[in-house]
Structure 1
């Protein structure tokens, strides 16, 4: 069900599936993306959980200009949680969304039950060529974000909302990722954590996920076979099974 809430005077679009339950899981997309990222997760059977996927400020159907720092996105997610008066929250973030979740768990741990990090890392350096191409409106994801075995039709559907987010917003997202670095702080995270990575992920390879697994105390790692950076799209059943097992 499509819904909206106002934060900082901006209309924020989100989708909520399943009636309100005792617990909530919020899905946070990556750089320049939209809530479409989580299409298959919103359909997953997660008993006792209300599933919510939002367009971050300035993305998709949400108003605003986005941010160029992960910290600003963290505070925005805090405002979103407070605006909806959500309790018992699990955050699930992909790529930049994963960085937001990691930083959130350091800054506002009292607001969280658990965290799920998909295709992300404790540091997210962005190649200068990608930054430059993003400003020119290019979609790097088509060449980089999917496993070579992934069907072309699936990639086209997953990328169909690419133009719904302004290229400047996407560029600023990549700047935020480029500045993100909690390599020395990640061992302070004290929440149960699931780290998910695609076996073919070129953008945030398995070593990134392994670092998180090795440094977050209460963590487990799942490698999704024959999936790239967009494992939630490429292998939704495997991805959903991993989060369902973790939440239960």
Structure 2
């Protein structure tokens, strides 16, 4: 469905479901260079379970108009405006990678909107290596190659998939390639320049679930666990073998975890 945020056309997937104001809501926030399709399995499941599902394309991503915002704080404010536009009063919030930072900032600033939260592939801070950042700034395909490789565990890089007939590596590459010029750099810049400390996580009062991949090279397990330890009411799901792309590598395990908290 399309709706308007700050005067710009914005897209979100409802997981093939309909919207009913009497149902509970679930909002998904994607990572750098990605879009709503990251959450296909989970969004469809919760739509079938009679939740209102909103897998949102951030500005400049996927089917949404606008320019990509290069600040996590600004993205959190934008997300608040999106929820207002959708007339969502309370929701569960699921964030992947960059989306997890947006969710953390949102939860600290606007806790009244949230029922629960899940973070997949998270870290505070979330530094980006110079080679990746510079390649993205130049709109070089090398940025996609690096990010895609580092996002998958060693076994995932060899091939195979829990979903028959689908290549995880190629799916990840094609999704990044579909992003518009300068969008990946804006996203990575937002992550790299996010200056809040773990004190942000300590402010989170809602029930939270953190997914940790044992071979995650983008947001290392040590840093993800520190985020989880800093959140007062938090549970951890540790996936192995798993890289950063947990929605691709372990779709069923991630879904099982989300079911518990949503």
Do they superpose with TM above 0.5? Answer: yes
Aligned to 1:143: 149
Deviation at 1:226, TM superposition (A): 1.8
Number of matched pairs: 245
1:224 aligned partner: 239
2:43 partner SS: coil
Offset at 1:141?
Answer: 2.1
1:11 corresponds in structure 2 to: 9
With structure 1 as the length reference, what TM-score do the two structures score? 0.93
Give the corresponding residue for 2:173: 159
Asked whether the 8 Å contact 1:59–1:164 carries over to 2, the reply is no
What is the deviation of 1:48? 4.7
Partner of 2:163: none
Other structure's SS at 2:87 match: coil
> Are residues 1:20 and 2:19 paired?
yes
Equivalent residue for 1:192, pick from 195, 204, 207: 207
Q: Give the Cα–Cα distance (whole angstroms) in 2 for the partners of residues 66 and 132 of structure 1.
A: 18
Report which stretch shifted further, 160-169 or 196-205: 160-169
Q: Deviations over 1:106-156 (max 9, x none)?
A: 111111111111101121011111111112323022221011111272221
The aligned residue for residue 110 of structure 1 is 112
CA RMSD in angstroms, aligned pairs only: 1.6
Q: Is the 8 A contact 2:32 2:188 kept in 1?
A: yes
For structure 2, the 5+ residue unaligned runs are 161-166
Distance 1:45 1:81, change over 3 A: closer
The answer to which structure has the higher helix fraction is 2
SS at match of 2:38: helix
SS in 2 for 1:185: helix
Distance (whole Å) between structure 2 residues aligned to residue 45 and residue 190 of structure 1: 24
Q: Is the 8 A contact 2:25 2:53 kept in 1?
A: yes
8 Å contact kept, 2:105–2:200:
no
Q: Once superposed, which parts of structure 1, at least 4 consecutive aligned residues long, lie more than 6 Å away?
A: none
The equivalent position to 1:76 in structure 2, one of 68, 71, 78, is 78
- Tell me whether 68-77 or 38-47 shows the greater mean CA deviation: 38-47
User: Are the counterparts in 1 of residues 104 and 200 from structure 2 also a CA contact under 8 Å?
Assistant: no
> Which deviates more from structure 2 when the two are superposed, residues 150-159 or residues 112-121?
150-159
Deviation at 1:193, TM superposition (A): 0.5
Structure 1: segments with no counterpart, 5+ residues: none
**Is the CA contact 2:39–2:247 (under 8 Å) kept in the aligned structure 1?**
yes
CA separation of 1:241 and 1:154: change in aligned 2, threshold 3 A: same
